[in-house]
Every structure is written in structure tokens, then in C-alpha cells.
Structure 1
């Protein structure tokens, strides 16, 4: 008996199969590209997700696929798929890095229970309502990405609180804000009924089973957003447990038994289980590092080598805000770049400054969490962008925390698979602590005073250039 987790990410789809004791048996992933037909847009044809899912499943041995008894879902948060009654997308899916709705955020005046970004479903759907009446007429459902995948597999029309609460269209609890939907002119019937992330959400259809090589009738769990799934898969089960994920973006979250207080710049969302979590969400981690690597014409191994073996250029600062920023600045107009370049500045120094800039942006988010009252001295570490030991040490020094690498390379997919096992009745919520993967201390803060001084300059520099960003956005 085994359970399959599907993690629908921004740049790739990952699959993981775990056994009846929660141990990963096999995994695979398929990468894909975001489409940017206009500046600031971020879209993808959902059928690309479907083809990636079929291709990824085909890589598993037949014996592994035939043993699957339930499937759970993890999905990139905030974006939206508009579909007809049969689940066919009426336009490309709109994703969280999309900034086309930047000028429409006046519909969410401060204060809000959670920060609102232009790439959330609410602003994006408001944009569609104003600019694409044909899409509005053709649409029956406005779904979160993982909910579209579940429907494609034959599952129920449903969403869960962990995803719904991050749309800017729901209460922090996840319940749809019907008054807000009416005020925005969005049909309330577009939004699926809510179910717990671990609830059964239909069964695998014959057609989908054939496409994936899985047994027909396999139970489908409702699923959750990728961040709460990563927390679950990484072993966060109790109040105060904390996690750092580094992928395209970065998140630092701290689990809470009760609903956290509202704090400007921080999110307070529902977890995949019955917990809450407070979260700092930083948009520019892997996306910024990948952009810099490309600009400097590096292969990744050489980028790490030159960045961490070259002398640090103390006067060079990189602001990584290529797609705006959420925590702590709440500034979608923020932009990035180097300051302090000289004729003799090397590629390695520029790459090192980029790594430090990303680490400093994560530190600014963690500082917000600490200022909210949470004590964070250690973080579990997950995400494909956090493997190199030199990068881990820089993160530990910048964040002033111990880092404990989770023995689970596919945390979100594993969390999704665990939800499948709970939906099937194999596990219960009380079993999750015992299923937590091992974590190894991989780095601790070394008291780097020079790095601390560069962080202080980074914060000062952002404050000085922020007014300029506002002028650029006009």
C-alpha cells in the first residue's frame, strides 16, 4: 500500500510516492516555463500541467503505480484557473508572479486581515472582469491550480481553507467573503465549496487512471496549498515549529495552535491540518538568483564557486526585488539591481552580492516574524534552492538561526501524499508527529559582524530608493 503526492509548482510538477509508514519510495519532476505574453504577466496553459503529470507518472515503475491507494494534492498558491463547467480552461491560468492587477488593489483598502498582492486570485479576477468579458461569460468555476488538477483527475469540485484564505477573496479562516465577492462583481457560484485538506474529494476516473497508469477508483484527497503541504511534509506538527522554504520564492512560517494576531506585512493562514501559521512571504529567491546567473552567463556550479571563493566586495549591494516584494515591504513596485559597481568588479563579486541580497530579503521577512512576538532560533529547511553548504551557511549567518535540513527532498509532495493517507483512513492527525522526517543540523550562526553591517546597509539602501520605485510605477 502506498500514497501518491502531486505537487503542482510554479516552474515544475513533482510527484512522490510514500509507503504505509510515510517513507518516500520514489519521486520525479517535470519542469515547464511560465508564459509572459506582456510585461508583468505570468500565465500558463493548464494543459501543460496535465501533460507534465502524465509524463512524470510514466516514469514510475508499474509496481509502484499499481500499489497507490490514495492521491493528495499540493499546489502553488494565489493564482487562478477560470474554467467551464467541464473543467476546460477558458483562458490561460494566471499565476502569483503576475502584476497586471497592480493598479486595482484599491478594492482592498487598508487595513486588511492579510496582505493583498496583485498576483492573488482576487485582483486577477477583477482584472479579467474589466478586460475580458468573453472569459467571464464562458466561465463556470474560478479554481486554485491544485483544485483544477484534482477535477481533471475526476475529483470533486472543492477547495480547502489553506488555499482559499490566500486568494484575497476569503476570511482568514478560509470561508469565502460573500460581501466582498458581491462588491467586486464576481459571481459567488464560481467559488467551490470548502472541505478540509485531508477530506476525501472524489475518486480517480477511468480515463485519468489510464492516462497515468494508476488503478481506477483511487481515492483523491482535497489537498492544500504548497506552503502548508511543505510544512506538513517537513514535520511541522506543533505550536512554534518553524520552516524556511527556498524555491522560486521563499517562505518562513511558524505553526500556531490559535489564530495569530494580524501584523502588517505578515500572512496568517490556515494550515493543512487544523492549525494556523504566520508567514513571511518573499517573492525573489530562486527567481532572482536564476535571473542573475543568466545575466552573468554562469553555469550553476561555477556560479557557486565564484560567488563563495571570490573576495567579498564590501561596498556592493544587490536588491533582489525583481518582481516587487511582499514581506515586509508590501511593495509590488519594488525593483532590483546592484549598487556599488566599479570597473573592476568581478562576476563572482556580483554573484556573491546576489546571494547576499536574497539572504537579506529573507532576513527582513524573519525580522517581521520576530517583531510579531514569535521566537525563532531554529528553522527546518526545505526547498530545492537550499542544498549547497556554502549557501546554507550564508543563510544561517544572515538569519541568525540554526538550520536543520529535513531528510525529505520533496516536502510538499510528501505532505500531499500524507493528506491522501489521512483521507483514506490509514493515518489520523495524531499520527503526524511520529511520521515527521529526520532533520540534521547543517549550519549555525557564526557571528559575522561584516555581514551584519552589509545587512544594515541593505535595509538603509532600500529605504532610500523606495520613493523612486513609486515614481516608476506611475
Structure 2
């Protein structure tokens, strides 16, 4: 690595916020900023957002970064929420609000996918959403030239090339396991083949920053734009995961548990196997209801976050109260878009605190169900690296360690996905090569070890039993 004072910037386009991180030539974080937003639900089961909201958040986040740090940026990389889709014209201008991964409007269309598929098909993936568009929004379908993943739309908006990368394409339900577009399937579903952008490596350069955008954001015109990757593979890259056998838990709006592999993992019911940002693979359990369930429970109970943590972890857990967090359906391990949740078993003696404690446990149990699916595949997991802004409270970390029965090692990188994106920028401009990444890995610190808790194990068993009993209560989501 050549010495310099260069900076590399990563943009992470998440579901609930946009984060930016600037790292230096040694991979150390120099500056971060974020801007939050909400997506819209104009009809039950829909989840979409106007892309102008993303752009406004980008400008707001950049305005919070130091001017000097911005001026030193020599390349930009991109991380983005996976699944979902942005339909655009030939120039990459959005024709309608972006449709996002929590969206379930296409649930009734999943039977069009032949079985077996290389990965489970969920209604919020690009493939089902695009098929819904063909059937129910013909005007947009006729006008569309490209169907882009969220981070690819943002890169194009900054001046980048029209492109997709394998880590995102393999999660659209329209590609082969290695990420190549499955044109036979695309034709069978009646989708225009020209919608799908050519593939490029995540760390390759896909265009340069436009001059007008550079002036708006306080950056240097013409710097390279890396293709980028999905947020989960970017988080794995930013967290310094080894390419084989390393395990990571990320928590945000949703939650993911992934295990890295050099070769293609075997298919396993309820789990995903996707491409990494650096050419390898990972097996993943994807749980939809982490932060989104916490926010709902906190709002229903009229808590601010500090009081929610305080009263929840001061409360004695109830032996009868349970919280199913499946407010937007669930992927791993149940593959049940119709799943719904809430509190069951409440009594007159329960308080706000016991209700909030049950919510924390319910989310932890949902993560455990996903982890158990990975363990059932034969993978032994006794320790997890921990990343994500929703996993910093020591009490929550201890509950996770106890519920998941793992050692937890926190990554010294609160913005792992944005950091991973910045590393892709450094690779794209040639400042680093793949062999440098191990040296740049952040440190990990043991923050929680599992404790023997028979009562917690019993409440988890009851949680799984309750889900099985109530899943038939709800009609299929439309």
C-alpha cells in the first residue's frame, strides 16, 4: 500500500437511513454521518419510497461531513439494501417510487417460479415485484428501460455506469446462484431482458463522479465510483471476515446471520446462499423483524429508547408472556410472508416493562430460529462477530448471547456496511488490492458469553410452539 493522505468514501443506502463513512489509507474511520427517512405504505403490504427522499438524505449526510475530509476523497463505493427495485428510464431517472424488500404485494405471484430455486423466493425481491409491475402497472412497465437495485440507482445518479454486481443480482430471484442473469427464467416470467444491467465486479470502477454532483457534495469531480455490493456482503467486508468459516450477526431494520465460504454452499431450506463482495460466497439466515419490531413495540408502549431499555431489563421476565415479532412476515427459517405477531399470554400483573422485555426476547428468539437453521445444516457456530447500530447496548448483547448460545465478539466498526463500501472504492481506484484486506480488518472484542438459563430456554421453546400454533390464523398476504 503506498503512503498517501487519500480518503475513501462509502455510502450505505439502508432501509431507514443513509450512512456515509470516510476512511483513510490505513482503513481507519475518519468521519461518519447519517440521515434518516421512512418508507411509505400507501396500501396494506406495500413498502416503497420516492428516490428523492434518498437524494435529500444523501445531501443532508454530506453536509455534516468535514469539508477537508470530503475534499480528500479519491474514490467512492456503494452499499445498499438488498432486494427491492427501482424502475428507470434509459438515463437512470426513476419512473415511480422504489419498491422495497418488506413489500408483500407480489405474494400471490410466487407460484410462477419453478421449483426448486437456488434460493428461497420472497415477495419483496426484485423478480416478484417486477412481475407485479408487468401485471398491474403496464404504463410504467412500457416506459421502463432499466430495473436497478437501490445502490445501483444511486451510483448512476452520481454519474456512474449502468451496472449490477453479483452480490445483488443473485438475490433478485432472477439469477443463477453465481449471480449471472437467468435469461430463460426472465423470459418465462414475461419480463423484458433489456431491463437487466450488465454485471460488473463489486470492486471494479463503474464510472466517475459527475461535476455538478461533485459541487453539490463538496467532492472532487471525476473520482472513480466502485460498482458496490449489497449491504450484507459490504458489512462482511467492512467487518474483516475471513473468507472461510467466519460468522457474523448484523442487526438493523432486519437481521442477518451469515457464514462465509470459498465455494458455493449447499442449498438448505429457509436459508440463502449468495455471492460475497470479494468473489466468494456466504450462507445466510435473513430475519425481517429486528429494528422494525422494536420500533413498533416502543411506539405502542410510548417509550423513548433510554426508558425502554431501562424498564425492560429491570423487569422480571414473565413465564407466560411472549412476543412474536413477525410484523412484516418472515423469511428465515419459516419462509412465511403471511406471519404476523404481537403479545400473547399477557396478564393483569404485566407492566410496560414486562411487555418491552418480551419484545426484546421475541426478537432474540427470532434470530435464534434463524441460527438454528444454519446449525441444522451441519455448521457448528459457537461464536458470532457482531455488527450493526442496533447491537451496542450491553444488556441487549448479553440477552443475545444467552438466547443464541454463542460468544459475541463486537467488531470495532459501528458502520460496517459503509466501511465495506469505502474499501470497495479504494480497491476500484487501485489504492489497495485484495491481499491488503486482511491487514485492514478491524479489531474484535469479546463482549458477552452465554450463561446457563433454563427458564430462557423454556421460553424459547414456547415461542417456537406458539408460532406454529398461530401461523394458521392469518390469511395469505396479498
Using the size of structure 1 for normalisation, the TM-score is 0.99
Q: How does 1:389-468 map to 2 (within 5 A)?
A: 389-468=394-473
The correspondence for 1:297, drawn from 302, 308, 321, is 302
Superposed CA offset, 1:274-303 (max 9, x none): 110000000000000110000000011111
Aligned equivalents of 1:467, 1:206: Cα separation in 2: 56
Which structure 2 segments of 5+ residues have no match? Answer: 1-5
Aligned to 2:3: none
1:334 is displaced (CA, Å) by: 0.5
Equivalenced residue count is 473
Aligned equivalents of 1:460, 1:36: Cα separation in 2: 31
Q: Does 1:200 align with 2:238?
A: no
1:425 is displaced (CA, Å) by: 0.8
Q: Does 1:237 align with 2:236?
A: no
C-alpha root-mean-square deviation of aligned residues, in Å?
A: 0.9
Superposed CA offset, 1:129-167 (max 9, x none): 101111011111000000000000110110100000000
Aligned equivalents of 1:204, 1:301: Cα separation in 2: 41
The correspondence for 2:73, drawn from 47, 51, 68, is 68
Superposed CA offset, 1:11-56 (max 9, x none): 0000000000100000000001101111111110111111111121
Say whether the 8 Å CA contact 1:141–1:190 is kept in structure 2: yes
Return structure 1 stretches of 4+ with deviation > 3 angstroms. 471-474
Say whether the 8 Å CA contact 2:262–2:281 is kept in structure 1: yes
Aligned equivalents of 2:293, 2:301: Cα separation in 1: 12
Of the structure 1 ranges 102-111 and 64-73, higher mean CA displacement relative to structure 2 is found in: 102-111
Aligned equivalents of 2:403, 2:444: Cα separation in 1: 21
Aligned equivalents of 1:35, 1:468: Cα separation in 2: 26
Say whether the 8 Å CA contact 1:204–1:218 is kept in structure 2: yes
Aligned to 1:273: 278
SS of equivalent residue, structure 2 residue 439:
helix
Aligned equivalents of 2:401, 2:248: Cα separation in 1: 13
Aligned to 1:122: 127
Superposed CA offset, 1:45-88 (max 9, x none): 11111111112112212211111000000000001000001111
Aligned to 1:354: 359
Aligned equivalents of 1:283, 1:268: Cα separation in 2: 17
Aligned equivalents of 2:476, 2:149: Cα separation in 1: 31
Of the structure 1 ranges 335-344 and 150-159, higher mean CA displacement relative to structure 2 is found in: 335-344
Using the size of structure 2 for normalisation, the TM-score is 0.98
Aligned to 1:16: 21
Aligned equivalents of 2:63, 2:347: Cα separation in 1: 51
Aligned equivalents of 2:386, 2:278: Cα separation in 1: 20
Of the structure 1 ranges 401-410 and 103-112, higher mean CA displacement relative to structure 2 is found in: 103-112
Which structure 1 segments of 5+ residues have no match? Answer: none
SS of equivalent residue, structure 1 residue 435:
coil
Aligned equivalents of 1:22, 1:371: Cα separation in 2: 36
Aligned to 1:331: 336
* Structure 1 residues 151 and 473: CA distance shift in structure 2, 3 A: closer
